Structure 1
Amino acid sequence: MTPVVHPTQRHPGALWLVSRVVHPRLVHEAWALGQTPAIEIGHRFDAINLPSGIVEAAVTGIRTDDAVEMAFRRVGIGHGVVVSRRRDLYTVLVQPGTARAWRVSGTTSVGVHDHLRYLCTPHPGRREGPGAFWLLPAPERDGQLAEAGHVLRLLALIRPQA
């Protein structure tokens, strides 16, 4: 009997995301059904959660998805930003271990030592709403994760106005 191959298994970002998941087939099945499965944070990546108000304050002019994307890219973040279903939170995937030292007011971080350490992860090919989506593409390798300094540069864009 030939195993079922979901189309999601051909996406490089999907393969990277599930590379350390205990049951990757379940994640692929959920994506194939249009669901956003929870992937554990802390092994492959940590996450920094930024409220939309903070991120959008770094945008000059009309706050479209393209403008917000450009704000991230301007500070060196080119991959791994998820927009929540309600569009109230931007989650930036960062190097594992970043959460241990992250202490920035108005933001939260999630790492391996946090009790609730799961990210509801849309399929990496999902680049627009409705629902959760990837504002910036899912990483396809470790070197594409943001660093804490990149996120701090984004926050510095709005701090002088605060």
Structure 2
Amino acid sequence: MDSSTCSAHRRAVCNWLARTHPLPEQAHAEWAHHGLALLPLGRRFDAIRIPAGRMRGVVGSAEPDTVAKVLAEWLHGPVLRDTRYSEAPYYALVPPGTPWPDTEQHLGADAYLGVPRPDGVTPLAAWVVPPQHPGHLCDPARLRTLLATADSPTAAET
């Protein structure tokens, strides 16, 4: 299956994500059949796993539109979420090899992530902030700054 499974305005992003997989055509087939492709991390991007409770503390809300707006404004990069249950984690996509000494789990080489098609939603995962162009990733420094607000007294009061 080719990239025609993606809408025209997202084709470049779909292809960029698919090329993360050793067999890009398999990623396109997984999106076409399941809406989700299992992609290896560490090549084009890594992921920082953020628990839902921590994200609520950062954003001050669990309302999806509010979370999406705050993350888009702060991170300037893609974030997806496991949607299987209310306490499912978020995943911020960051450059490969990003050093991450913070408490959140860093997923890199030898890890895989279920990634929805950029123009799709599945019962398993959805984009909170979709990638805007090939290579579009979150700035790790901005992510650290945002997550630090969850530890502040102001964030704890919300």
TM-score calculated relative to the size of structure 2: 0.83
**Cα pair 2:116 2:122 within 8 Å, conserved:** no
CA distance change for structure 1 residues 6 and 16 in 2, over 3 Å: closer, same or farther? closer
* Matching residue of 2:112: 118
Deviations along 1:24-57, one digit per CA (max 9) or x if unpaired, are 1111111111342210000001111100110111
User: Partner of 1:91: helix, strand, or coil?
Assistant: strand
Partners of 2:20 and 2:34 lie apart in 1 by 21
Deviations along 1:40-79, one digit per CA (max 9) or x if unpaired, are 000001111100110111223x52111111221232x233
User: Partner of 2:58: helix, strand, or coil?
Assistant: coil
TM-score calculated relative to the size of structure 1: 0.81
Aligned with 1:133 (options 105, 126, 133): 126
Q: Percent identity over the alignment? A: 28
**Cα pair 1:20 1:43 within 8 Å, conserved:** yes
User: Partner of 2:53: helix, strand, or coil?
Assistant: helix
Deviations along 1:81-105, one digit per CA (max 9) or x if unpaired, are 110032511001101110xx21212
Tell me the CA shift for residue 154 of structure 1: 1.3
Does residue 7 (structure 1) correspond to residue 1 (structure 2)? The answer is no
User: Alignment RMSD, CA only?
Assistant: 2.0
Partners of 1:48 and 1:6 lie apart in 2 by 27
Partners of 2:122 and 2:20 lie apart in 1 by 27
Pairs aligned (count): 149
Alignment gaps of 5+ in structure 1: none
Aligned with 1:149 (options 134, 141, 145): 141
**Cα pair 1:7 1:32 within 8 Å, conserved:** no
**Cα pair 2:131 2:137 within 8 Å, conserved:** no
* Matching residue of 2:152: 160
Partners of 1:8 and 1:22 lie apart in 2 by 19
